[in-house]
């Protein structure tokens, strides 16, 4: 098992995904500058409190209550109560993978050594991750500044041995039992620690890492589907010529065109039936290319956020100063997720339009209407992919509806202390939902493309078509497709169809 030492090197998006998949463990440095920074800032907090200095959230109330002075005898209770009164999240639980990403991202932020937490806290977080235990976090309740307070309270509560834990199989475990399964004891959080755990952008960022990975697979799959559609409709492969991209060299467009060209190589050669295909085929590199470039930018933003200290206040490990600011504001992650939302939905729309082309006898260059394979008089009682197209249109419409930017719905809350907030967590949840819808659109479009290609060329040796046929037969007569859609959507989500591995343009 590979291991990553927190604080010693940046944790990348791919590292977070490896932790989620159980192929990478996180650990705290046994010695060195990273460990020294963490230890030093925890000591600075303790010393300043002993001297009677005021530190927000340690010996003051929270948010609009920051003018309330908290006596030493109540500071431990303040730390516990912060966790407890934020236990008001609602909605479905984050998946085990999503909650694991949240913990990994939060550990990376705290390991920067600006948060005033003890080594023991980070070690307890690593122990949970390495034991494949995650907090059970309801998905709703964050406005994205002061970070993800309410959902992150479920991580803090689990470390205290409270609430519930989530296991890889989706089952729940009482918090105390889960902590002990990780070979630790429940922590008594120190005054700064509950605030440091909760006052950050790690829910939106963890979810964002997963959305980025799913968007990558969608981009690859869309290029592969475009190649199948082009071949099935005997389209013009010259639309994907590298010289066209060189004349307007957006990196994502160039890479998408290359992926389509590579996928077309296994489809055989045929004389194009039109000098120019319709836009949903011809402009596919330009559409998917925007998504690829958005992914690159979203990865850059997320890797800064993952490795940034994003709680408040921060402790300068060099001077010992307490710095009050707003790094918990999730505006950059919100921006990244709005990009992913919009461009993934655009790809859903692209694939929906391709499916419409291939199903329509007036635009599919000689294929049967609705891709019906039945011939003779019996053909009139079959409708092939007619309902599949309706489902794809419904899924696409829902995805497009969700592209409305979440960040512009900032709401003043908490007695107008949090009067400008990012809504980054809502944007990340929207991005995941749009990915889910688009994976299903892609599954339907892929089934349609394979049907069309076999109708055009029954002897096609296309590798993707053969992989699809392992789970879905050629449609010889009307039948249900719901199971096959679900199986293929999951395969697309997990990048399991062999459409390619991510590479930066």
Which residues are the active-site residues? Answer: 56
Instruction: Detail the DSSP E strand segments found in 329-479.
Output: none
The Cα–Cα gap between 61 and 19 comes to: 35
The Cα–Cα gap between 396 and 434 comes to: 9
For tokens 């055009």, the residue is: 456
Cα separations in angstroms, 458 against 231, 354, 386:
12, 21, 21
Count of other CB atoms within 10 angstroms of residue 108 = 28
Using CB atoms within 10 A of its CB, is residue 386 exposed (0-12), middle (13-18) or buried (19+)? Answer: middle
Closest CA to 139 of 172, 102, 179: 102
User: In this structure, what token pair is assigned to residue 31?
Assistant: 């010695």
The Cα–Cα gap between 486 and 439 comes to: 9
The Cα–Cα gap between 339 and 392 comes to: 22
Handedness of CA 425, 426, 427, 429 (dihedral sign): positive
The Cα–Cα gap between 148 and 329 comes to: 9
In degrees, rounded to 5, the angle at the alpha carbon of residue 35 between the alpha carbons of residues 27 and 302 is 60
């Amino acid at each position: 098992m590979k291991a990553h030492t927190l604080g010693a090197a940046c944790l990348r998006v791919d590292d977070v995904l490896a932790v989620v998949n159980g192929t990478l463990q996180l650990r705290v440095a046994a010695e060195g500058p990273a460990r020294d920074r963490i230890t030093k800032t925890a000591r600075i907090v303790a010393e300043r409190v002993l001297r009677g200095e005021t530190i927000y959230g340690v010996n003051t109330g929270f948010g609009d209550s920051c003018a309330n002075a908290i006596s030493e005898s109540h500071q431990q209770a303040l730390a516990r109560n912060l966790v407890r009164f934020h236990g008001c999240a609602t909605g479905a639980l984050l998946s085990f993978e999503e909650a694991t990403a949240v913990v990994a991202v939060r550990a990376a932020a705290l390991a920067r050594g600006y948060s005033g937490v003890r080594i023991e806290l980070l070690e307890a977080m690593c122990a949970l991750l390495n034991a494949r235990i995650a907090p059970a976090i309801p998905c709703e309740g964050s406005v994205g500044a002061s970070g993800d307070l309410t959902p992150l309270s479920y991580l803090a509560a689990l470390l205290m041995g409270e609430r519930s834990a989530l296991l890889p199989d989706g089952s729940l475990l009482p918090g105390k039992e889960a902590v002990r399964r990780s070979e630790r004891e429940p922590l008594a959080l120190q005054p700064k620690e509950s605030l440091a755990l909760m006052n950050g952008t790690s829910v939106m960022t963890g979810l964002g890492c997963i959305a980025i990975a799913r968007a990558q697979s969608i981009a690859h799959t869309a290029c592969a589907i475009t190649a199948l559609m082009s071949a099935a409709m005997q389209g013009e492969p010259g639309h994907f010529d590298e010289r066209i991209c060189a004349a307007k060299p957006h990196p994502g467009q160039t890479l998408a065109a290359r992926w389509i060209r590579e996928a077309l190589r296994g489809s055989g050669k045929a004389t194009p039936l039109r000098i120019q295909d319709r836009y949903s085929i011809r402009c596919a590199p330009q559409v998917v290319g925007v998504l690829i470039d958005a992914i690159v930018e979203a990865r850059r933003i997320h890797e800064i956020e993952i490795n940034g200290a994003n709680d408040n206040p921060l402790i300068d490990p060099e001077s010992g100063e307490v710095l009050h600011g707003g790094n918990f504001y999730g505006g950059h992650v919100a921006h990244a997720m709005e990009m992913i939302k919009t461009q993934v939905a655009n790809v859903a729309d692209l694939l929906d339009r391709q499916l419409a082309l291939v199903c329509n006898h007036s635009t599919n260059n000689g294929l049967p209407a609705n891709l019906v394979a039945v011939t003779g008089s019996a053909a009139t009682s079959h409708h092939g992919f007619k309902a599949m197209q309706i489902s794809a249109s419904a899924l696409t419409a829902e995805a497009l509806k969700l592209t409305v930017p979440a960040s512009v719905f900032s709401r003043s809350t908490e007695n107008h202390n949090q009067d400008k907030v990012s809504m980054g967590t809502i944007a990340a949840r929207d991005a995941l939902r749009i990915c889910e819808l688009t994976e299903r659109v892609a599954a339907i479009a892929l089934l349609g493309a394979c049907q069309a290609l076999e109708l055009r060329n029954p002897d096609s040796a296309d590798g993707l078509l053969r992989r699809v046929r392992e789970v879905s037969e050629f449609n010889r007569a009307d039948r249900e497709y719901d199971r096959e859609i679900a199986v293929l959507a999951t395969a697309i989500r997990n990048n399991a169809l062999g459409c390619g591995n991510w590479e930066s343009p």
